[in-house]
Amino acid sequence: MTLCVVVPVYNEQEVLPLFVQRLTATLDGIAGGPHQMLFVNDGSADQSLAILREAAARDPRVSVLSLSRNFGHQAAIAAALDHAKGDATIILDADLQDPPEAITEFVRKFEEGYHVVYAQRVKRKEGIWLRVSYFLFYRMLAMLADIDLPLDAGDFGLMSARVVEEIRSLPEHLRYTRGLRRWVGFKQIGIPIERAERKAGESKYSPFGLLRLAADGIFAFSTAPLHAAAVIGSFAVVLSAVFAIYSVVAKFVLHQSPKGFTALTLLITFVSGVNLLFLGIIGAYIARIYEEVKRRPVYIVEHKIGAMVER
Ligand code: UDP
Ligand code: MG
């Protein structure tokens, strides 16, 4: 059995040497092989590429796919999956937040016949706000999504060659890997893994970037926000019909003159707010349709170092 560990890298010079060392040690302890390490240099502006080049020169199991610019985490993963070879592929971040040593356990499950083994993050070490946001996001997405997405599962995990093949054939441009992985099916299992802090450097996801990833997840796997407009709209129609009947009764039976200017203003601002919100939601879906129909490639490879599947 051969493994291919794929690693997206964007400006990780501080942590890369230690990462390569720990990953190599882990792979040395796993039977079979030779196991591959495929790094995707996602347009790093620091010494990351030089460090990777050196690692590739030292160890034939290391190969590097260098992209022409920064395409983003998910695009880098897509590039890696397109070039990975082996009976199983593992997605692993370079910042050592996810312990490479967990791969040993993934392999055990793989040998038991699971096609997908993913890490379920317990005990995150990030700040309280980030933890609360992640917690709420995964639960909201699970509630909204049309498929049952596992809670607290990131991209870190193992996939069989068959699953990689299926994911690769999905035509989406905007890729939410952890969702696509679930979508393809096959026998899957999550195992709890503690998520450490970054060993060095800082998170490449700004709060805004995380929101975008979250939006990609929701818009790619759920149309519930679109249906919500219809539900809230029908509710408003019923409410206003009731109010209309009341107004007629008030005028002709109770002989009351109209009042409630404040209520009126509130109602108008509220309803136009809801309108704009749903226009925005529809806009978000349209923007994604637009991104998809452009059919631009997800990434561009500048050069390749070492052995990999040619595509
Ligand atoms: N990464 C990448 N391209 C990017 C941003 C990040 O290849 O545009 C890599 C990064 O080097 C790391 C992984 O993706 O190996 C996850 O990034 P990060 O640790 O910043 O995300 P977080 O763990 O904070 O979600
Ligand atoms: Mg990280």
Predicted pLDDT of residue 301: 94
Nearest ligand 1 atom to alpha carbon 11? 11
Q: Read off φ and ψ for residue 42, nearest 5 degrees.
A: -90, 60
Q: How far apart are CA 98 and CA 6, in angstroms?
A: 13
Say yes or no: CB of residue 10 within 6 Å of ligand 1: yes
Residue 116's pLDDT is 95
Say if residue 215 is exposed, middle or buried (CB neighbours under 10 Å; 0-12, 13-18, 19+): middle
Query: What's the CA gap between 293 and 8, in Å, rounded?
Result: 26
Ligand 1 mutation target, pool 5, 48, 93, most atoms within 8 A of CB:
93
Nearest CA owner, ligand 1 atom 22: 203
pLDDT at 133: 79
Residue 309 has a pLDDT of: 79
Closest ligand 1 atom number to CA of residue 93:
15
Residue 138, pLDDT score: 81
**pLDDT (0 to 100) of residue 249:** 86
Instruction: Estimate to the nearest angstrom the gap between the alpha carbon of 41 and the chain centroid.
Output: 19
| pLDDT on residue 226 | 83
Sequence spans of domains, the chain: 3-201+297-310, 224-294
What pLDDT is recorded for position 168? 92
Cis peptide before 100 (omega within 30 of 0): no
Phi, psi of 96 (to 5 degrees): 65, 20
279-301 burial: b if 16+ Cβ within 10 Å, else e: eebeeeeeebeeeeeeeeebbee
Average pLDDT, the chain: 87
pLDDT at 199: 67
What is the residue type of 157?
A: G
Distance 95 CA to ligand 1 centre (A): 8
Please give the structure tokens belonging to residue 45: 């502006």
User: What is the C-alpha separation between 35 and 86, in angstroms, rounded?
Assistant: 8
pTM: 0.78
**100: DSSP letter:** G
Q: Counting ligands in written order, which one lies closest to the CA of residue 78?
A: 1
Homologous superfamily in CATH for domain 3-201+297-310: Spore Coat Polysaccharide Biosynthesis Protein SpsA; Chain A (3.90.550.10)
**Which segments in the chain show pLDDT lower than 50?**
none
For residue 9 and ligand 1, the question of a CB distance below 6 A is answered with yes
Is there a contact between 12 and 19 (Cβ–Cβ < 8 Å)? yes
Give per-residue pLDDT as tens, 17-64: 999 999 999 999 888 878 999 999 999 999 999 999 999 999 999 999
Task: Check residue 267 and give its pLDDT.
Answer: 82
203 lines ligand 1 (CB under 6 A): yes
Ligand 1 contact, 8 CB (< 6 A): yes
